[in-house]
Amino acid sequence: MLFEATCLVMDSANGLPYVDAYVQQIVSEHAAFDVTETALYAEFFSAMRDELMQLIGDDWTDARAAAWDRQISALIARGFQ
Ligand code: HEM
């Protein structure tokens, strides 16, 4: 699941065409796992970003932080809401 989520952020940023359909598929499959509160996706991506920030340490620049925030927001707007 973490691998898929990481790929999704990068593929969304790179404009890969499968992303919109895959987002719909994830939302629909997760409803079967009782994940129906879509705000959880924003929290999930924020937590993922925060973990990366910890791992990357001093190399986590303001520009990188801004890029992650921008890409996460764009991905959520594609259907995780
Ligand atoms: C874009 C974000 C996400 C992606 C790409 C994703 C992807 C997946 C995938 C591929 C699976 C299938 C099995 C596995 O690999 O473990 C899965 C299972 C699951 N996901 Fe997600 N997921 C995402 C976000 C979330 C969120 C936000 C929640 C809840 C807070 C969640 C809860 C679950 C649950 C409960 C399962 C079932 C685990 C099991 O019983 O085996 N997922 N997810």
Domain ranges (residues) in the chain: 2-77
Task: Indicate if ligand 1 lies below 6 Å from the C-beta of 41.
Answer: yes
d(CA 35, CA 18): 22
Torsion of CA 59, 65, 68, 71, to 10 degrees: -140
Q: Average of pLDDT values for 44-62?
A: 95
Task: Indicate if ligand 1 lies below 6 Å from the C-beta of 35.
Answer: yes
Of the two residues 21 and 81, the one the predictor is more confident about is 21
pTM, two decimals, is 0.88
Q: Specify the residue with its C-alpha closest to ligand 1, atom 8.
A: 1
Backbone angles phi, psi at 16, to 5 degrees: -70, 135
Q: Specify the residue with its C-alpha closest to ligand 1, atom 14.
A: 1
To test the pocket of ligand 1, the residue of 1, 4, 40 to mutate (highest count of ligand atoms within 8 Å of its CB) is: 1
Q: Average of pLDDT values for 29-51?
A: 95
